[in-house]
Amino acid sequence: MDIRAIVRRVTSETSPVRLVEEDSLRVTVVGVGGAGCNMLSRVEVLTGGALDTLAINVDEQHLRRTAARRKILISAGRRGGTGGRVDVGEAAAYRAISAIRESLEDADVVFVLCGLGGGTGTGASPVVASAAREMGSIVFSIVTMPFSHEGRRVDIALQNLPRLVDASSATVVIENERLMGHVPHLPFTRAFDVINYLVAEMISGLVDTITRPSMINIDLSDLRELLLSAGGLASILFAEEDSADPRKIVMEALNNPLISVDFSRARGALIHLSTGSDIPISTVYSIVRAIREQLMENAYITLGARIVPGMEGRVRMLCILSGIPLDLFLAAHRERRERPAEVDLEFVE
C-alpha cells in the first residue's frame, strides 16, 4: 500500500479499515496525551469499535471528546496541565498507576499510541508501557515525531524516545516530516488522517495476522519469540501488488513513506502473506529472500501465509522488522533536523 492508496482512502466518503476479529486474543489499544488520543479516536472509528480502547490524558475536555471504550483522567496536580514538562506527565501517570494497571489486566497485546515532544504523551507513555509489560503483555508503542522546525519539542522527543523503547517490546516511529513531504497539498486535518489510517492499518493487520487461521500459522508465541530475539526499535510495513513481481512487493513495503529507518541493521522479521490459491511457491520464496537480503546476516525470520478467496494473482504482505539500532535512528534524525527537507506548500481554502 503506497501513499497514494492511503490518501485515496482518507479522502473518500468512507475509509474503513477491514474489521478486526479478536477471537481469543485480548488486545488493548491505549492513547496517551493529546496526539495519542487523537490517533486512538481514529482507530476506534476505522476498526468499527472491534478493539478494546483506553484513553489517558490530563486534559478533561479533550478526554471527553476522545472516542474510546474506557478513559482515565490523570492529574497533573495544581498546574492543571503539564506545561510541556515530561516529569509532570510522568508523575501524573504514576499517581494513577493502580487504575492503569487494572485497565491493562489480562491483555495479551497492548498498543500504546502517543506523540512525542509534549509533556503528557512523552512522560506518561513509558509508564503505561512498562506497567503492561510487567504484567506479561507484548507491548507495541507507536509514536509520532515532531516536525524539524518545532525545535524544543524535537529535542524532548529525541531525549525521551529511548525511555519508551526500553519500556516496550517494540517501538514504531512515524515521522511527521515525511508526511508533509508526500501530502503537502492536502487540507491540514486530512493530512494527519493519513497517519491515523496508517496506525489503524498497522494494528488491524497485526491482530488479523495472529488471530485468523492460516496455511502457515503465526501465533502469539511466534511474535513473542521474535521480540525476545530482536526487540527494540521496529517498523511495521505493508504492501499489496501483483504476485508476478515479488521484488516489487518488497520494494513497495520498504519505501513506506511515513517511516524512515535503516533496515539493513534490523535483526528480525515476521513476514505474513495473504494471497490466492494460485500463488507459486517460487513467489513466496522470492519475497522472503528479498527481505532477507535487506537485513543482517543472522536475522531471525518467521513466515506465515494465508489463502484468501478472491486474491488470485495478488499478494498482500505485512512485515514487522525489529531490532533496528536506536542510536543510528537518533543520529540520522538529528542530521535531518539540521537539514530539514524543503517542501513546496500551498494554502488550501
> 109 in a domain, yes or no?
yes
Check whether residue 23 and residue 102 sit in a common domain: yes
pLDDT of residue 257: 57
Check whether residue 79 and residue 116 sit in a common domain: yes
Tell me which of 149, 180, 210 is where a domain ends.
210
Cell of 182: 508526500
Residue 334 makes CB contacts below 8 A (sequence gap 6+) with: 158
Residue 286 maps to which CATH number?
3.30.1330.20
> 142 in a domain, yes or no?
yes
> 223 in a domain, yes or no?
no
Check whether residue 92 and residue 188 sit in a common domain: yes
Check whether residue 169 and residue 294 sit in a common domain: no
- Which SS3 state, helix, strand or coil, does residue 28 take? strand
Check whether residue 201 and residue 279 sit in a common domain: no
> 206 in a domain, yes or no?
yes
* pLDDT tens column, 21-41: 445 789 999 999 999 999 999
Check whether residue 156 and residue 244 sit in a common domain: no
Tell me which of 176, 210, 244 is where a domain ends.
210
CB 252 within 8 A of CB 290: no
Residue 204 maps to which CATH number?
3.40.50.1440
Residue range(s) defining the domain that contains residue 166: 3-210
Q: How many domains does the chain have?
A: 2
Check whether residue 193 and residue 79 sit in a common domain: yes
pLDDT of residue 219: 86
> 89 in a domain, yes or no?
yes
Check whether residue 147 and residue 234 sit in a common domain: no
User: Residue ranges of the chain with pLDDT lower than 50?
Assistant: 1, 13-14, 21-22, 343, 345, 347-349
Alpha-helical regions (H) of the chain: 3-10, 33-46, 60-65, 86-95, 97-103, 120-134, 152-167, 176-182, 188-211, 220-229, 246-254, 281-292, 326-338
Tell me which of 179, 210, 241 is where a domain ends.
210
Check whether residue 312 and residue 201 sit in a common domain: no
In this prediction the pTM is 0.87
Check whether residue 181 and residue 314 sit in a common domain: no
Report residue 243: phi and psi, to 5°. -70, -5
Check whether residue 111 and residue 182 sit in a common domain: yes
Cell of 111: 498498543
Q: What does the angle CA 337 – CA 143 – CA 209 come to, to the nearest 5 degrees?
A: 130
> 349 in a domain, yes or no?
no
Residue 192 makes CB contacts below 8 A (sequence gap 6+) with: 38, 179
> 58 in a domain, yes or no?
yes
* pLDDT tens column, 299-338: 999 888 888 889 999 998 888 889 999 988 888 777 766 6
> 348 in a domain, yes or no?
no
Check whether residue 87 and residue 192 sit in a common domain: yes
d(CA 233, CA 155): 18
